[in-house]
Each structure stands twice: as structure tokens, then as C-alpha cells.
Amino acid sequence: MSDELLLAARKINASFADRNMHRGLFDFGRTPRRQVLFDVSAEIHAGECLAVIGASGSGKTTLTRIMLGLSTPDSGSIKYRGAEVRHGSEGLRTLRAESSIVFQDPFSSLDPRWTVERSVSEPRWLRRRALGFAADEVEGKTAQALARVGLEPRIFMGRYPCDLSGGQAQRVAIARAIVNEPRLILADEPMSAIDVAARVQILETFQSILSGEGSRTTDPTTGQPIKPAIIMVSHDLGVVQHIADHILVLHEGKVVESGTAEAVLNNPQSDYTRQLIAAASL
């Protein structure tokens, strides 16, 4: 793990318009709002995995979307590599250029009409000029990304999503997420839609990515391979305990536990965390 503070969220409050709430007599047509995050802070360093844990409706997806600049909080601040992330800012542009997302259901995130090669290479094509490489490098980078997630390029490049198992499809989605060598990856419930055997493969894939194994991009100051950070969203502590460096536990929009994975798992301070540990699947 690096000492570099990559991303920091401070005192985040967020609410949504709630059209299911009854309007008060004196609301004069205003839509009521429901607060979903209460003064939440989180941070992640380069090369580490932060697990954001909580049940459905706990606010974990809202928090991580705000951390990646995809949603705007009511109050609080986000900084990426020391630069403030806000609408139109350089910090937001840098964050979006250097981050990627792995979604819950790989078959929903992969276009069924596209081959594996086209799906994985698309982010590279979109940023080809900005990243400063020639068009003939795309295939090589695509093959490299597939190899990093344990898929033989010669076998899988020409396949379509319908030709893949759930675990293979998710590894294709991860290959697409790493093809541009991002510094930050958001993995949003990446193992909940696949079977237990495939989850082990996906965990091993993420562990390999965290280690920098197979990366060809080096840090200009150290000369070492860039080790991306991963924010992993899950409702299952059993899944993340094998990979997380730090764990943040959310319950009804509030932080009920935060610390190193060892401290949270071995000495939980809240009843809610103890319940999640008892329900762990792996």
C-alpha cells in the first residue's frame, strides 16, 4: 500500500426527492426530501482496497457515486489526488479520466452484439489520443488486459457474452475496466450475481490487480508499476474480508464502523457489524 492519499470524502450529506412522502399543508408544491447520508467521511490510499459494506438502502451506492464524481452531495467535499472534485473542476476531469467501474451484473454491462475484443478495447479507443498511443496498439492492450484477468486472449477475443459463463463475463468486464490502467476502480457488488465458485476467481483477479501484477504502466517518480486502488461495495463481509485493507460499515446512511479490516473483523464495535460478520458467506 502507498502512503499517497488518492481519494477523500469529508462530511458528506446527501438527500433525494421523495415523491412517496405526503406533502405538508404548507409545502406549496415543493417535493419533500429524504436524507440518505449523514456526515459520512471516507478515504482510500493508492494500492489499497476500501470495502464499503451495508444492507440495501444503507447509502453505500450513493456514497460511492459521490466519491467518483457521478453524483453531487448536499454538503461536504471530495478531493482526488489533492484537487477538489466539483462540477467543471480539473479535479473532476482527472478523476473521471483515471477511474473506472465494474458493475454488479456483467451481462447487463456488456453489449450482446459486441465481441469480447470490442467490449474490452472500447475504453482504449475512446481515450486513444488523450493517452498518446497508436491505433495498432489497441489490440495488444486488449490482449494484455484479458491475460491479466486470467482469460486466454486467443480463445476469448472473438467470443460474445452469450458464449461466456457468469464468472468469465465478469472477468471480461474487469478487463474492460483496467484496459486504460486506471488509478481507481469502483467495484459495485461485483460478485453478487455470480456463483460461489466464480467468486473465488473474481477475488483472485482483484487481488492480482491490486498487486500491480501484469501492469505495464509505471509511476514516473518511483519507476514502480502503478497499483490501483479499489473501492468494493458489498452487503457481504464474507466476500471482502479476503481483500479489503479498510472497511467502512454504513447503516441507514450513517457510519457505524470504520477501520482496518483486521480491527473491524476481529474486534467489531457495533451490533450491526457483528450481525454482518455472522451472516458472512465466504
Tens of pLDDT, residue by residue over 194-208, are 888 888 889 999 998
Is the model's pLDDT at 80 over the cut of 90? yes
| Among 49-53, 107-111, 154-158, 189-193, the least confident range | 189-193
* Mean of the per-residue pLDDT values of the chain: 89
pLDDT given at position 22: 54
Which pLDDT tens digit goes with each residue over 99-117?
999 999 999 999 999 999 9
At residue 158, does pLDDT exceed 80? yes
pLDDT range class, residue 93, cuts 50, 70, 90: very high
- CA dist 280 and 261 (Å) reads 14
Can you identify the CATH homologous superfamily of domain 111-181+196-227?
Answer: P-loop containing nucleotide triphosphate hydrolases (3.40.50.300)
Do 177 and 146 touch, CB atoms closer than 8 A? Answer: no
Q: Where in the chain is the domain with CATH 3.40.50.300?
A: 1-22+34-98+229-282, 111-181+196-227
The CATH number of the structural domain formed by 1-22+34-98+229-282 is: 3.40.50.300
Q: HEC profile for the chain?
A: CCCCEEEEEEEEEEEEECCCCCCCCCCCCCCCEEEEEEEEEEEEECCCEEEEECCCCCCHHHHHHHHCCCCCCCEEEEEECCEECCCCCHHHHHHHHCEEEECCCHHHHCCCCCCHHHHHHHHHHHCHHHHCCCHHHHHHHHHHHHHHCCCCHHHHCCCCHHHCCHHHHHHHHHHHHHCCCCCEEEEECCCCCCCHHHHHHHHHHHHHHHHCCCCCCECCCCCCECCCEEEEEECCHHHHCCCCCEEEEEECCEEEEEEEHHHHHHCCCCHHHHHHHHCCCC
